Structure 1
Amino acid sequence: MGLSKTEINLRRLLAAMPNQTNEVKLAQYIVTLREHLASLTGESGHNSLPCISEKKAKEYAEQIEAAASRIRANDMSMWDMLASRDYNADLPESSKELDLQEISPTTAGLRRRAISGSRNKHETRGDESTNGEQDDAWKSLTNQDSSAKVDSATLSFIEKHRHLQEDLTDEMVDLARQMKEATLAMNQAVEDSKKVST
């Protein structure tokens, strides 16, 4: 059995973390990694079953916590980092005010494709579960300094980008599948033409 999209994304983020020097982005990686791990272990609260073994989950959790300890070693909490000027400076001025959900995928040059049933279930649940889970994920990152807060616009911005990234990943997987099918069809046509010519 192959790896799920979530596990592939988790592995990619784990591979990219050692090279990441920006602590704000590292904090975002850790939040995303923890969400992916919760999803893979069936703890995401969406009535899902575990997709990976306990041993693999423990291995991933240790890698995530090792990266989180890099941030905890710094005096600045993640809340402060996410609210800092450096984080906001990374964002283009137009994107600070732009609601990404108002952009149609066709105007951005992307084709919106039909998504699997599990993804549709997630989307139909809407923001009532997403916002609560997002807040819980951020709060679980630091227990030490709960007085600093990340504003909801920042959380919304991060969540929208995460969904955009997942959509792009879905699109890439779909294109790869189509390419594989086209290659197999081409190979079959070549084989058939060889049989006819002999």
Structure 2
Amino acid sequence: MGISKTEINLRRLLAAAPQQQNQAKLIHYVATLREQLEQLAEERTPEGLPRISKAQVNDYSEKIEAIASKLVTPLPPVRVSEDALRSNSLKTSTSKSDGETQAPSSPGLRRRFVPASNLEDRTQGTVDADTSEPVKLDAQAHAHIEKQRKLQESLTDEMVGLARQLKESSLLISQSVQNTEKVRFNSMLPTLILRC
């Protein structure tokens, strides 16, 4: 399986980004890298399988976030989850509304929607990043967060139960060992008395 054009561009930009000193261009690089990573995660082979592995997607994501962490005003992190990969494979069409180009959304990735008139400005490197506003989550993202919270709570409860069982088992074993030693001592006691 060959490397796609998107992956080649992503690798080139990853290699060039650490040498970039201009903060505005570096912000643009990070945004472009994130978009390319999202596209790459959506790419499929003719058999319908993901073009690159989840481990490779996570590796690229970590490299992008390492670059983003060097920014004066860091951008929020991007994680590509299995649910995001699955939902992206189902949502492959793009639509237009209110003069903005929209692409498939995924709960794990933050996507910037840019009006078509601003596309030329972006390619010239004059992108202003507004990171002062919080990221707004859709209902699907909130549902995913709530699901993860419930899973975490159930795991915590299960771990508490397992710890309680382990403690009870340890006490029972300790008592059993003590009782066995007492029985052995009591059985040896008449022999010891006779020897004295």
TM-score bracket, normalised by the shorter chain, equals: 0.3 to 0.5
Q: State the structure with more CA Rg.
A: 2
Name the structure where helix makes up a greater proportion of residues.
Answer: 1
TM-score (ref. length: structure 1): 0.40
TM-score if structure 2 supplies the norm length? 0.41
